[in-house]
Amino acid sequence: MKVGILAGGLGTRISEETENKPKPMVEIGGKPIIWHIMKHYHTYGFKDFVIALGYKGHVIKKYMVDYCTLNRNLTVNLGEGVIQPHNGARLDWTIDLIDTGLPTNTGGRIKRLVPYMGNETFMMTWGDGVSDINLNELLAFHKKHGKLATLTAVRPPARFGHLEFDGDRIGKFSEKPQTAEGWINGAFFVLEPEVYDYIQGDDTQFEKEPLERLAADGQLMAYKHDSFWQCMDTLRDKKRLEKMWDGGNAPWKTWKDNHNNENSSNGSQGLYRNVDGSYVAQ
């Protein structure tokens, strides 16, 4: 099953970080947030990704192309123009990097991915939100109800500290609780191909008419996720996630670290990369 990730937005609300890179490339703990998202999906066995690019998409392309060489030991033979990677970070991911246009809206980006997603159930999320959601349970929920679309409903984190009073005395203070009431769209969708028919074109915002029509047609279901979820809309959000990661308290980190080899394959297998950027079989 393929996983689509929308990574083409301008990221204007976190402009301090997005002048030279797209928001999904903003780092948490030294790794882009899109890497965190993909690692979470990989924990549950999903490894075929289709990324919808837009604003500064070349930065994401370069990161993915260079990932293996930047995260492994190398022998560089300048005379033969060959780079030989050794043991190190090696992920068994397949990634389609698709330019979907700079001004294209979320619905338009999804529709532009049609040729790459296959005529089958697929997952979809935004490139700026992390969660500890159990993706197997999400998929089982979707398959059970048999509708066209499932979105993950989450309780948003409170922006400010939460106070509970006993008269004028503060009985309880919580620095950053999730709100006790109300649900919002947390993305982490499971969708059927028929959903494409609800998207008119590049200007369509997926969160508006398509989801509204799916709901009106009785084809939109909500998987309620009560545990951790956080988007990275602002610099404040980034700092919060960074603090959690640095403190060893990152609920979205569902994977185990393996610094020598990130899958079960022998780290010496794969491709040589020539200095000119081309690849040859090893």
Whether residue 165 is contained in a domain is answered as no
For residue 96, what pLDDT is reported? 98
For residue 166, what pLDDT is reported? 77
Residue 229 belongs to domain with CATH number: 3.90.550.10
Portion of the chain with pLDDT greater than 70, in percent: 84
More confident residue, 2 or 282: 2
Whether residue 27 is contained in a domain is answered as yes
Whether residue 139 is contained in a domain is answered as yes
Whether residue 162 is contained in a domain is answered as no
Q: What is the residue range of 19's domain?
A: 2-153+183-281
Q: Identify the CA nearest to 93 among candidates 43, 25, 136.
A: 43
Average pLDDT, the chain: 88
DSSP β-bridge partners for residue 75: 84
Q: In the numeric block, which tokens belong to residue 251?
A: 């609920």
Whether residue 158 is contained in a domain is answered as no
For residue 162, what pLDDT is reported? 64
Q: In the numeric block, which tokens belong to residue 281?
A: 């079989």
Q: In the numeric block, which tokens belong to residue 150?
A: 């499932």
For residue 276, what pLDDT is reported? 47
Tens digit of each residue's pLDDT (9 = 90 or more) over 187-244: 999 999 999 999 999 999 999 999 999 999 999 999 999 999 999 999 999 999 999 9
Backbone φ and ψ for 277, nearest 5 degrees, come out as 100, -10
Mean pLDDT, range 13-37, rounded to an integer: 96
For residue 84, what pLDDT is reported? 86
Mean pLDDT, range 14-43, rounded to an integer: 96
Portion of the chain with pLDDT greater than 90, in percent: 72
Whether residue 164 is contained in a domain is answered as no
For residue 175, what pLDDT is reported? 64
Tens digit of each residue's pLDDT (9 = 90 or more) over 215-230: 999 999 999 999 999 9
Whether residue 160 is contained in a domain is answered as no
Mean pLDDT, range 88-117, rounded to an integer: 93
Helices (H), ranges, the chain: 15-18, 33-43, 57-70, 106-112, 114-117, 135-145, 209-216, 235-246
Whether residue 13 is contained in a domain is answered as yes
Per mean pLDDT, which range of 113-122, 132-141, 163-172 is the poorest? 163-172
Q: Is 180 exposed, middle or buried (0-12, 13-18, 19+ CB in 10 A)?
A: exposed
Q: Are 267 and 86 in contact (CB under 8 A)?
A: yes
Does 277 have pLDDT greater than 50? no
What is the tally of structural domains in the chain? 1
Task: Tally the C-alpha atoms within 13 A of residue 60's C-alpha that lie toward its C-beta.
Answer: 29
The model's pTM is 0.86
Residues in the chain: 282
